Amino acid sequence: AQTVTQSQPEMSVQEAETVTLSCTYDTSESDYYLFWYKQPPSRQMILVIRQEAYKQQNATENRFSVNFQKAAKSFSLKISDSQLGDAAMYFCAYRSPLTGNQFYFGTGTSLTVIP
């Protein structure tokens, strides 16, 4: 099975500053999808951003962007102009189209935003 590693259990950032959450994964597949999900205290998982492996261009969604390094198997999330509402647990996920569309999740990074 594919493995997804988030090496930062906790991170903090000052409001309005920028923070980067790291994620690495292990796979032998060439075609796959990567995601970042956010889980606020409400526990509802929310999709933040999605990246297709065949696309070289990094995905961007407003203040959220990724740095996708396919050769290095790295997929970091950058949050710009951090807001209090960004405080949450963030999960990196890998989706394999070859194994029944299973998703594999990292262990999560808890982000605190300091006012």
Partner 1 sequence: DVKVTQSSRYLVKRTGEKVFLECVQDMDHENMFWYRQDPGLGLRLIYFSYDVKMKEKGDIPEGYSVSREKKERFSLILESASTNQTSMYLCASTGPRGKLFFGSGTQLSVL
Footprint on this chain of partner 1 (rule: CB under 8 A): 1, 4, 6, 9, 33, 35, 37, 42-45, 47, 50, 91, 93, 95, 97, 100-108
Q: How far is the CB of 103 from partner 1 (least distance, A)?
A: 6
**100 or 115, CB closer to partner 1?**
100
**17 or 26, CB closer to partner 1?**
26
Q: How far is the CB of 31 from partner 1 (least distance, A)?
A: 12
Q: How far is 53 from 58, CA to CA, in rounded Å?
A: 10
Q: How far is the CB of 15 from partner 1 (least distance, A)?
A: 26
**17 or 59, CB closer to partner 1?**
59
Largest pairwise CA distance in the chain = 44
Q: How far is the CB of 76 from partner 1 (least distance, A)?
A: 17
Question: Rounded to 5 degrees, what are φ and ψ at 22?
Answer: -100, 155
Q: How far is 62 from 80, CA to CA, in rounded Å?
A: 9
**82 or 108, CB closer to partner 1?**
108
Q: How far is 23 from 91, CA to CA, in rounded Å?
A: 9
DSSP state of 40: -
Coil, strand or helix at 26: strand
